[in-house]
Structure 1
Amino acid sequence: MGCHGSSRIWTMLPCTSSASGCWKQIVKLGEKKLWNGRSHKSYFFGVLGDGATINFWADSWLRDEPLRLTYPHLFRLEKNKWVKVASRLQVVNDTKVLTWDWRSNPSSYDEVNELFQLLDDIYNYSWKGGIDKWLWKGDAQGAFSVNKAKHLISLDPQPYLSHMKWKGWVPLKCKIMVWRAIINRLPSRVELIRRGVVLPCDSCVLCNSDSETILHLFTGCLFSAEVWSRIGYWCRLEPIFAFDVSDLLKMVNIPPKSKYLKYVLRGIIFTTMWELWNERNTRIFKGKRRRAMEVVESIKSTSFFWIRNRSRFKGLKWLVWCKYPLDQM
């Protein structure tokens, strides 16, 4: 098995030019959560053919979960998060050849260990070629049907249950906004149009480059990405890669932190989401705009005010907070 160069990616559901009818709707609904915490898209499994429509890191094809979750350290090194399997893995003269595109070559223990495990997985993986196929795990035969999907959804014992942490120093209104974002119940432009509200367009007001869904607004928007990058730098976090709104809340566990650091960091994440949503509303209803760095400064001041007045950390110093908020815990 050959190994060349270096690489990275993410994905959701298979979306090809041949997708039509109900499959387009499946792609749109793929980000929504079911009662068991899994998304609709997690029930689809790729059967590798030529690898032209399956995402290497973000689709489930080699394992029961996307490789981005199995090999997170390698995923951070990947440049092209949406790369297809065909661009990373080929068979030449019965030999599997891998082509990578890393930001930097794997060097740490975790990175090298994951690389060897991934190479071993790929070496033992066999397929017959042809075209890519997709199976649906909600059926024993792997066949998707609307009726079976409806049955799966109907099993929900508590349709709107969210596993987010409610204990914290941010106001209740902020927590409710975050909870509504997790269950996709905020009035984004796409959701308003789906409900019959007439709008001039569905573009994201923060970046104007894509439709405004909750997933895009908090995880896919270029403006939001810059804000998250600055917040990550401020809190000295590893690069932030989120595929779902709930992934943002998981940042408090990477790397493992004490309960006090989690407590503070969770509040900062909630405040960031709150400020992004407010920036979106201010642009729509008041016509005012701020730069990403100005939003970040507002996040720092708002979070400092809240934690000083709504928690037991009364002795926080503003200058130290601005430099590194977790340094005083």
Structure 2
Amino acid sequence: MVVRCTDGGGAGDGGGGGGDVVSLRRKVARVDGSQGGRKCKVLFISSIYGISGGLLVDDSFRTDSYKSVWNEIVKISNHINTIGLSFRNSFVKDLGDGGSTSFWNDSWIGGETLKGKFKRLSRLENDINVSVKDRVIWDGAKGVGNWSWTREPFGWARDELHSLTEMISGAVFNPEKEDSWRWAPGGNGMFTTKFLSDMITSRLLPISDLNGETSRNKLVPKKVEVFVWRARKLRLPVLLELDKRGIELHSVRCPLCDDDIETVNHSLILCKNAFEVWAKIFDWWGRGGVPFINVGDLFLDTGQATSHVGKIIWQAVVWTCSYLIWKIRNQKIFTNKSWNGTVALNEIQVKSFEWFAKRCKDKSIDWHN
């Protein structure tokens, strides 16, 4: 989804702690044109949900619990914030003439909404939804307040008015330009899911402290990259880890070989069934014996390759092998599927080639290469 807007009706939340369904509803109303019919170019799933993204039905707002495009965006943004990416604050209002920016409700100056910063004063406002253009007069040198109060401010409210007057005097307007939303992380100010996805991936799959290698490989799917990251952090739900978390189990011994306690290293390498597959993989690549006993060293192994491409290909094979060993292990537990080392090797070879062929820039590659 890409949202592009030339006024205040963007997909952002104001950048100052709005970030909830209420603030999004207000922006949807602007996009719908019900507040002056301002021009706005919005590209999203309008063919399915309409311009309101599913929030409006018969010109009335649905309940917050209703599943819609904007409600889901709010929920996702909350999850994104938990990994250290301030998604809510990434949308910035670029002030033009102030015609489509709410003076009190949008974060257009000072990093937060004026309604939140000057609570007493905002309660005296005659029109809480008034625009910046209607409330601030630009005389070419500074902004001057054009106030309309229900009563004259006094006491604490008057102190707030002095602070507000000083703040807006330094505001910069551009009468020749309409207000717009800008997504700060994007170089051109446009929001795209691909750019956001890359940001999330870089946060979840960071550069490792081991030899500067990364936890990413373009020749395998994202699910494999995430699996490798979890395995290196020892965060796979092996029986020992489940037992540590107080989950009652019949046994913590390996469900495949029953020879030892199931740890991440045992499940992926040291189990005799897994080790049999690794021996076949190393023999397939002419590597001899398997020299690893822990996943950290295994995942960073370069396969004795001298070229960068060779290292990436070997790493993709190793990651694919680990992922499929884990998958087969789960099939054994949940569907009682029998283990077959030869079948497992064939599946690893086929999947490695399939993923590599689809992602490799050289489209002439074939099985015999």
Structure 1-normalised TM-score? 0.46
Higher Cα radius of gyration = 2
